[in-house]
Amino acid sequence: QVQLVESGGGLVQAGGSLRLSCAVSGRTFNSYAMGWFRQAPGKEREFVAVISGNGGIRYYADSVKGRFTISRDNAKNTVYLQMNSLKPEDTAVYYCAAEKAISTVVDRVDYWGQGTQVTVSS
């Protein structure tokens, strides 16, 4: 049983920054890879970033590489997504994900958060 709660979404101007947080319940947090996915209106949910259980491995979608940074604090059972140089095309609902094995594939996510809206205005 893993519960994930995202926070930190909001409305920002293009070029601005946001930091999303995902608080995870359970003592087994360190055993899960943690990821971020997003879904824009009319589009399928897509991979954004993922981090391994010990934080040693990180993968990013090409569309966010160099702008977004995923990190985790296992002592706080929290994963973060720092988003810089935001673009209007980053507008989406962002979902936190827990994975028993690190993956960039939506269908292999084991647990999802409820999502948080990120809107980037031009």
Which tens digit of pLDDT belongs to each residue from 59-113? Answer: 999 999 999 999 999 999 999 999 999 999 999 999 999 999 999 999 999 999 9
Are the C-beta atoms of 35 and 99 separated by less than 8 Å?
yes
How far is the C-alpha of 119 from the C-alpha of 122, rounded, in Å? 10
State what percent of residues in the chain have pLDDT above 90: 94
What is residue 1's predicted lDDT score, i.e. its pLDDT? 77
- Mean pLDDT of all residues belonging to the chain: 96
Cα–Cα dist 110/24, whole Å = 13
| CA dist., res. 107 & res. 8, Å (int) | 25
